[in-house]
A and B are shown apart, each in its own frame.
Chain A
Amino acid sequence: MIRDLVFVALALLAVVPAIWVVSSRNIVHAGFALLFTLLGVAGLYAFLGADFLAVTQLMVYVGGVLVLILFTVMMTHVPAAGKRRHGLDRLVPPAVFAAAVFGVLYKVITGVNWQATAVPSKATTAEIGTHLMTTYIFPFEYVSIVLLGAMIGAAILIRERRATDDDEDNREAQA
């Protein structure tokens, strides 16, 4: 009973703000609404006994990704053009894409033989750590190389940008 109530509350926390994210006319509101969706998903992870995943969700998505999204949204925000248009051309492609994703998810959810046996929840941190350092050491290292590549790429992009800025300044100074 309480279990179901908690689940419904968390699911609503994840879904209702998600609708707000896609329907809000103010892009900054959409960004902040994402916070509640991410919190709801973290809550669902914790509810399923995946404590490490829940806290990681909070750390990575709320503490990192969301802050980044908000920064970008705030920097691109132009007051006059801040309201999002809601034309059909803006509605159809995302709808098709969402339907496709939902189809794949539905196929997966109904295709898998879920073993619905209640396992007593226990701490997962040590187990995840051991697996990361033994079974999944290759993907782990591979991901870190990809991330390193992304970081170096970002640094190079910023450097080139700065060089062109300097050129413009020089041109202005000459003119």
Chain B
Amino acid sequence: MQLLYDFFTGQMGLDATGAHVSVASLMAVLMFTVMAICAIFFTWMERKVAGFMQSRYGPMYTGRFHGWAQAVADMLKILGKEDIIPAEADKGMFKFAPILVLLGSLLAWAAIPWAPDFVAADLDLGLFYIFAASSLVVIGILMAGWASNNKWALYGAARGAAQMVSYEIPLALAAVPVIMRAGSLNPQDIVISQQGGIWHWNINPIANPFLFVAFILYFIASIAETNRGPFDMPETESELVAGYHTEYTGMRFAFFFLAEYANLFLVSMIAAMLFLGGWWAPLPGMGWIPPALNFIIKGVLLVFLNMWVRWTLPRVRVDQLMYLCWKVMIPASLLCVVGAGLWMMAWGQLK
């Protein structure tokens, strides 16, 4: 980042404010591009994973090698589709909702630590900011469901909002032991605190078993937070057609799609950052791997795990979903916070 600032102040002859604005704009464009590429890649990956899980091939034709261009072709197709707004819909809100959903994930992407000294917004309370920014997605989903003026969409939106608000609690609580260990909310500090190989990562159950439990709690809550199977209650095809985006077509639907995969990668990258050592290489001798590559590989592996779960487990019922959150995961994560604190106190790991 310092290099970028130096480039804008030195080479381009801008003052400090100008350099700030330039770097911020550049990072915003970069993050959006990475997000769009991720969404395209994960669409293809999801279809391939789904195919292999169900003993079939998935897309094979477009682009010859394992249908790699299928997602690109889909994107081109979706660009050319008619933009339909239902006659009885609330037009302004109907148009704004997809933007708000995407905005929520894009805001959160700003605080992701890609590599040492490379993060769009180096915030001191970055982790808290990420959780706060993703709450915009909830409002966007409610807005979409309401504005569609369709009972299935409204059911889906109400379910989605209830689910995301509920699961935000165990999601944030599972991150607390890590914050306690790192002594900071800054994503970079959290990553740096896990220096020195795989056994220093927070996931290591021998160093602190409670952190390992916290990882599992985080992972389950993150599946529910992204509204994916087995917790995809907001868009249960068999009951609600397609949930809150039933009425959306073309580009507006693509925005929801983009946001879903952006959120999926976001929660996976946060998991990698909190528990899997962020951009650190797994072994001390592997420093030659670019840090960002380490980080992205960990994120993609977690996305794969997420897809694996989605295509393996059947969908739960709404009451089971709420039971799991309020009566199992929240008490478990609270116990986990207390246990991790006591463990760190006993072994002198607290900062």
Residues of A whose CB lies within 8 Å of any CB of B are 2, 28-29, 32, 35, 51-52, 55-56, 58-59, 62-64, 66-67, 70-71, 74, 123, 125
B165 near A67 with CB under 8 A, answer: yes
Bound-state CA distance A63–B131 (Å) is: 9
| Residues of B within 8 A of A (CB-CB), count | 24
A35 near B125 with CB under 8 A, answer: no
Known: A52-B125, A59-B128, A67-B139. Contact between A74 and B168, CB under 8 A? no
Task: For residue B20, give the distance in angstroms from its CB to the closest CB of chain A.
Answer: 10
Contact of A125 among B125, B132, B136 (CB under 8 A): B125
**Taking the complex as formed, is B185 at the interface, i.e. its CB lies under 8 A from any CB of chain A?**
yes
Bound-state CA distance A74–B165 (Å) is: 17
Mind listing 17 A-B residue pairs with CB under 8 Å? A28-B90, A28-B146, A35-B139, A52-B125, A52-B128, A55-B125, A58-B132, A58-B135, A58-B136, A59-B131, A62-B139, A63-B132, A70-B139, A71-B158, A74-B146, A74-B154, A74-B158
Residues of B whose CB lies within 8 Å of any CB of A are 17, 90, 93, 123-125, 128-129, 131-133, 135-136, 138-139, 142-143, 146, 154, 158, 161, 165, 168, 185
B-chain residues with CB within 8 Å of residue A125 when the two chains form the complex: 124-125, 128, 185
Task: For residue B304, give the distance in angstroms from its CB to the closest CB of chain A.
Answer: 29
Known: A32-B143, A63-B132. Contact between A71 and B161, CB under 8 A? yes
A32 near B93 with CB under 8 A, answer: yes
B125 near A51 with CB under 8 A, answer: yes
Contact of B138 among A28, A29, A67, A123 (CB under 8 A): A67
A-chain residues with CB within 8 Å of residue B93 when the two chains form the complex: 29, 32
Bound-state CA distance A51–B129 (Å) is: 9
A67 near B125 with CB under 8 A, answer: no
Bound-state CA distance A66–B158 (Å) is: 14
* Chain B facing A: main interface SS: helix
B136 — nearest CB in chain A belongs to which residue?
A: A62
Task: For residue B5, give the distance in angstroms from its CB to the closest CB of chain A.
Answer: 17
B165 near A63 with CB under 8 A, answer: yes
B123 near A51 with CB under 8 A, answer: yes
A-chain residues with CB within 8 Å of residue B90 when the two chains form the complex: 28-29
B124 near A67 with CB under 8 A, answer: no
Bound-state CA distance A62–B161 (Å) is: 12
Known: A63-B168, A71-B158. Contact between A55 and B129, CB under 8 A? yes
B133 near A123 with CB under 8 A, answer: no
A66 near B129 with CB under 8 A, answer: no
Task: For residue A39, give the distance in angstroms from its CB to the closest CB of chain B.
Answer: 8
A-chain residues with CB within 8 Å of residue B138 when the two chains form the complex: 63, 67
A66 near B139 with CB under 8 A, answer: yes
Bound-state CA distance A35–B209 (Å) is: 41
B-chain residues with CB within 8 Å of residue A52 when the two chains form the complex: 125, 128
Bound-state CA distance A20–B139 (Å) is: 18
Bound-state CA distance A70–B164 (Å) is: 15
Bound-state CA distance A125–B154 (Å) is: 38
B17 near A2 with CB under 8 A, answer: yes
A123 near B124 with CB under 8 A, answer: yes
**Beyond A71-B161, A125-B124, 7 extra complex contacts between A and B, CB < 8 Å:** A52-B128, A62-B132, A63-B132, A63-B135, A63-B168, A67-B135, A67-B139
Task: For residue A35, give the distance in angstroms from its CB to the closest CB of chain B.
Answer: 6
B124 — nearest CB in chain A belongs to which residue?
A: A123
Minimum-distance CB pairs A-B, first 7:
A63-B135, A123-B124, A58-B132, A59-B132, A55-B132, A125-B125, A55-B129
